[in-house]
Structure 1
Amino acid sequence: MFCRGFSWFVRIFVAVVVSTGCSHPVSVTESLTVGRVQEAEEATAVDLGALLDAGDGAVVTLLAGDNTQLVAHRAVLAARSPVFADMLRHVTLEGSSSQLVLSDTEGPVLRQVLAYLYTLQVPQLPSMAPQLLVAADVYGLSVLKAHCEQQVVAQLSVETAAAAGVIAIRHSANRLKQAAVAFIKAHLLHVMATQGWAEAVVNDPQTVVELAHLIAETPTDTSTPSAGESRTGPSSQPHSGHSDDGRRPTTAVPPTSPQTTPQPDDVAISLLRDLSGEEKGKMLIAAAKEGTVSKVRTLLTVGADVEAMDENQQNSLHWAAARGHLEVARRLLEDGADVNARDRWQNTPLHQAAWKGHAPVVRLLAASSADRNAKDFRGNTPLHDAARRGHPDAATALLEAGADREVRNDNGDTPLDLAKRNNHQKLVDILGSS
């Protein structure tokens, strides 16, 4: 009886995997050999055995970013990956078709991920290791991720180091991050001259800035021979070194010259200076959203326009105010940011701070000559916004700065009217007192 049942299972499994119903069907089993199946851990047999009674809902179609379709068993995906398990629960609850769209993963990479899920054998594909590392992190496959880190570390070069460092930072691959930072530090000038570095700066400048800061903060390991060789130029270089009496240095002089290594922050500044004004402006807005003062300072140093705007005409000060980043707002104001700048809805930074209830930022903006009674496209002042949203501290700060509590918006409402309508009793008490 068991033999007949198992034979049925095998036939169904093979039929489903081979017949995906797409124009270019891909079978998971094509990448699995008999030897790999035999070497799989005992848990695999348990998972596959559970499929015998799984019924019609046993399989799910995975649609990769390049439209490659693969089929796999729900039980295997859920057992191996917590991320897939959560996705499949969602699909079940929604009652939608048995298809998962994985737009961030390309077909060849997804195919190798599935091979690993079924066999627990790590693919030995060094050229694909960076992409597999990313996928392993996305789908919560820590063992695969660790093995991929080892593969990427083993093939670090001046061409690949920048991309490896970016991947390591974005996907919290600490071992790879340490190795990439150390490698780039040891071969800094060579790496920065590569196409890989230039592409990293263009494609992900913010992460490259983080990488540059790590490089600047990491002590140079002068004991590494390759590091010394990489920083040693020909004798014609002007900073190759001189002896006390003006003669060329003897062979006893260490080949590593600290003068060829940029000082802290010089790395970040050098890679940012050549970016376009538009790119610098985007990065400044992103840094303001994030609230990182050091990034904002660095970007302003390399000439980022403090008045650069996004698609909604909001500049970095708008975003710092909206997110409550007091020190970032202060730094932007010191660099000349327009305290009364308007976005597409005629909101000022003070409107943003009041709407979100960031009282310290409200006080800073008011002290920097912000218009306390500026009106947006519907006639609302910052005090209207604080009253509507129920932010007593922000409203108090505005009143202390001289905001008019009697001003009316285009609907004829005062801030007190909005506080009453939205049942903000504390605001009613504050605004109703004389």
Structure 2
Amino acid sequence: MFCRGFSWFTRIFVAVVIFTGYSHPVPVTESYTGVTLHTLTTDNSESLTVGRVQETEEVTAVDLGALLDAGNGAVVTLLAGDTRLVAHRAVLAARSPVFADMFRRVTVEGSSSQLVLSDTEGPVLRQVLAYLYTLQVPQLPIMAPQLLVAADVYGLSVLKAHCEQQLVAQLSIETAAAAGVITIRHSANRLKQAAVAFIKAHLLRVMATQGWAEAVVNDPQTVVELTHLIAETPTDTSTPGAGEGRTGPSSQPHSGHSDDGRSPATAAPPTSPQTTPQPDDVAISLLRDLSGEEKGKMLIAAAKEGSVSKVRTLLTVGADVEAKNENQLNALHFAAARRHVEVARRLLEDGADVNARDRWRNTPLHQAAWNDNPAVVRLLAASSADCNARDHTGNTPLHDAAMRGHLDAATALLEAGADREVRNDDGDTPLDLAKRNNHQQLIDILGSS
């Protein structure tokens, strides 16, 4: 009887400590459903955490009560830089699908008493954990960008939505570029709509900020995606202005984009015929100013992604079609390897070397054969690719297809005139490699006269 009473006393004590603002928050993540998402439409941010308080307390008490019987291994130490925080495994797993997955998997990471979290800084992690134990959103607007990123990393949808709301309220000329980058990197759709509309309304001023310049240097691919979104978004005359003018009517540009606070009806007419730069024009100008190295990196990234429009844009602004990475792979190598036929076609039209070599002497045709991309094989062959080019071991594209068992690629190579009798540095023909790897269909094709 005494034990049962003591157990309930302990549970009540733990719950009281947590909900009265215990000064040493422990790390946790959410599966929290106590606050419903529809309350995010309110104008009073404090009301977001009110509403269903009683239900929230009951859910949390049950979670914390379960910890009393957890036994050994109930806690885990989270390491974020120099910060060490101790949390209950059960709370982490209950509140965060990411942590739950970590603990489910039988790995060193999941079974260890410590977790190293390299994606989150210590102060941010501390606030995330305080939220997960108290279910109260940290009122730290200056930390909202970092908290949003952490919420996305650990699958905390409710906290992420709150952070989006805070960042929307903070949108200004100085913060817009960073907000735009965050929204693309972390799929913050509500913030995306507001940030893109805001940047479009104040495009030239935002692009003149240090934040925009840093984004171009540090994450040019994301900036390109952002400018595409800006170009595709229709102008919204209700977009809030910058700084203290957010609550007033948005200004209409009169010669370029300005923020003089005047409505379209009262804005002064232009003194001379001028054309407001369109977002696509501004994006092109921005990309032209990048170094050749940056353009080359972006072109390779666009080819990997398979984006014809980005490849076209980058080639338009002068990206070197032969730009290579540290392994001497160029955009055409990646397009060939990843089945991006239209990207490969666009690169070839712009003069890409169809027989370019990487550090292992592979051509784009080797890449297409190795990855079984018959459509790219045919495209390259039609563009005068050397079907019998040898890599550093003497293998031709047909050797690669035979070794890997890629029937379609091998057939396309044979149709293009690849030599089935050619031998590599070990003296093997494609047929020898097909036999060694038991690829019967290829044996039949390569063995026939």
Structure 2 runs not aligned, ≥5 long: 16-22, 29-49, 242-248, 259-263
Matched residues in 1 for 2:89 and 2:79: separation? 14
1:149 pairs, out of 164, 173, 177, with: 164
Instruction: Confirm or deny: 8 A CA contact 2:103 2:110 kept in the other structure.
Output: no
Instruction: Confirm or deny: 8 A CA contact 2:354 2:385 kept in the other structure.
Output: yes
Matched residues in 2 for 1:413 and 1:11: separation? 76
Q: Which residue of 2 aligns with 1:208?
A: 223
Q: Which residue of 2 aligns with 1:127?
A: 142
- Tell me the SS of whatever aligns to 1:330: helix
Matched residues in 2 for 1:29 and 1:367: separation? 63
Matched residues in 1 for 2:418 and 2:448: separation? 14
Matched residues in 2 for 1:256 and 1:280: separation? 38
Q: Which residue of 2 aligns with 1:380?
A: 395
Query: Which runs of structure 2 are paired with 1:329-344 in the superposition (5 Å)?
Result: 329-344=344-359
Q: CA 1:119–1:259 in 2, change beyond 3 Å: closer, same or farther?
A: farther
Q: Which residue of 2 aligns with 1:361?
A: 376
Instruction: Confirm or deny: 8 A CA contact 2:198 2:240 kept in the other structure.
Output: no
Alignment of 1:44 with 2:66, yes or no, is no
- Tell me the SS of whatever aligns to 1:100: strand
Alignment of 1:186 with 2:176, yes or no, is no
Using the TM superposition, name which of 416-425 and 3-12 deviates more.
3-12
Structure 1 runs not aligned, ≥5 long: 14-25, 241-250
Q: Which residue of 2 aligns with 1:53?
A: 69
Q: Which amino acid aligns with 1:27?
A: H
CA deviation map 1:87-107 (0-9, x unaligned): 122367767431111101001
Q: CA 1:50–1:97 in 2, change beyond 3 Å: closer, same or farther?
A: same
Q: Which amino acid aligns with 2:123?
A: P
Q: Which TM-score applies when normalising by structure 1?
A: 0.86
Instruction: Confirm or deny: 8 A CA contact 1:229 1:255 kept in the other structure.
Output: no
Cα deviation for residue 362 of structure 1 reads: 0.4
1:62 pairs, out of 64, 71, 78, with: 78
Cα deviation for residue 41 of structure 1 reads: 2.6
Q: Which residue of 2 aligns with 1:28?
A: 25
Cα deviation for residue 223 of structure 1 reads: 5.2
2:4 pairs, out of 2, 7, 16, with: 2
Cα deviation for residue 166 of structure 1 reads: 1.0
Q: Which residue of 2 aligns with 1:229?
A: 251
Q: CA 1:224–1:282 in 2, change beyond 3 Å: closer, same or farther?
A: closer
Cα deviation for residue 433 of structure 1 reads: 1.2
Alignment of 1:397 with 2:397, yes or no, is no
Matched residues in 1 for 2:113 and 2:137: separation? 27
- Residue identity over aligned pairs, in percent, reads 81
Q: CA 1:319–1:5 in 2, change beyond 3 Å: closer, same or farther?
A: same
Cα deviation for residue 420 of structure 1 reads: 1.1
- Tell me the SS of whatever aligns to 1:124: coil
Matched residues in 2 for 1:224 and 1:75: separation? 44
Cα deviation for residue 43 of structure 1 reads: 1.1
Cα deviation for residue 230 of structure 1 reads: 6.8
Matched residues in 2 for 1:95 and 1:161: separation? 38
1:115 pairs, out of 116, 119, 130, with: 130
Matched residues in 1 for 2:342 and 2:239: separation? 41
Q: Which residue of 2 aligns with 1:321?
A: 336
Q: Which residue of 2 aligns with 1:196?
A: 211
- Tell me the SS of whatever aligns to 1:61: strand
Matched residues in 1 for 2:13 and 2:427: separation? 74
Q: CA 1:334–1:418 in 2, change beyond 3 Å: closer, same or farther?
A: same
Cα deviation for residue 67 of structure 1 reads: 2.6
Q: Which TM-score applies when normalising by structure 2?
A: 0.84
**How many residues are treated as equivalent by the alignment?**
404
Matched residues in 2 for 1:7 and 1:92: separation? 36
- Tell me the SS of whatever aligns to 2:78: strand
- Tell me the SS of whatever aligns to 1:265: helix
CA deviation map 1:93-150 (0-9, x unaligned): 7674311111010011101110111111111111111111111111111111111100
Matched residues in 1 for 2:203 and 2:312: separation? 23
Q: Which residue of 2 aligns with 1:75?
A: 90
Q: Which residue of 2 aligns with 1:308?
A: 323
CA deviation map 1:179-235 (0-9, x unaligned): 0000001111110100011111111111111110111111112355848537345xx
Instruction: Confirm or deny: 8 A CA contact 2:362 2:391 kept in the other structure.
Output: yes
Q: Which amino acid aligns with 2:73?
A: G
Alignment of 1:266 with 2:266, yes or no, is no
Q: CA 1:400–1:123 in 2, change beyond 3 Å: closer, same or farther?
A: same
Matched residues in 2 for 1:7 and 1:29: separation? 21
Matched residues in 2 for 1:98 and 1:409: separation? 52
Using the TM superposition, name which of 81-90 and 363-372 deviates more.
81-90
Matched residues in 1 for 2:275 and 2:128: separation? 43
Cα deviation for residue 63 of structure 1 reads: 0.8
Matched residues in 1 for 2:285 and 2:158: separation? 37
Matched residues in 1 for 2:437 and 2:8: separation? 65
Cα deviation for residue 7 of structure 1 reads: 6.4
1:100 pairs, out of 91, 99, 115, with: 115
